[in-house]
Amino acid sequence: MSKSYDLGKKGEDLAAEHLLGKGFKILARNFRAGKAEIDIVALDKGILVIAEVKTRNTHYFGEPEAWVTPAKQKLLIRAANAFVKYKGFRGEVRFDLVSVIADDKGTEIRHIPDAFYPVL
């Protein structure tokens, strides 16, 4: 696999561990709906959390969360709707972001609840 794929996979694993440590229950990873993919689907105190993970090995190009564009948000919303329908979930849905910087100095994980809100 490529270095960027390996880095992304490592970041998703670290993000899942981080969320588990905060008491989240992981329901799915890499849920696909057409072109859209949700990195992590979890439950946090009854709230369905759609978590996008952005992993980088440097801050050079800015913070990882800056790369969650409106187009990416639209895809996440579409995938979240598919997941909710597929599972018959009835309840609150939240969109979180987990930013991971993994470099030779260590790993920095930042969890941003309610990173964005779906626009109707």
CATH of the domain at 71: 3.40.1350.10
> Which pLDDT belongs to residue 11?
87
Element (H, E) at 51: strand 47-56
Residues 6+ apart with CB under 8 A from 72: 52
Number of domains in the chain: 1
> For position 80, what pLDDT does the model report?
96
**DSSP 3-state of 35:** coil
Domain extent, residue 22, equals 3-116
User: Rounded distance, CA 96 to CA 36, Å?
Assistant: 16
Low-confidence ranges of the chain (pLDDT < 70): 1-5, 7, 57-67, 120
Closest Cα partner for 36 from 1, 85, 83, 4?
Answer: 83
Give the pLDDT of residue 61.
60
Of 84, 11, 62, residue with least CA distance to 118: 84
pLDDT at position 56: 77
Predicted model pTM: 0.89
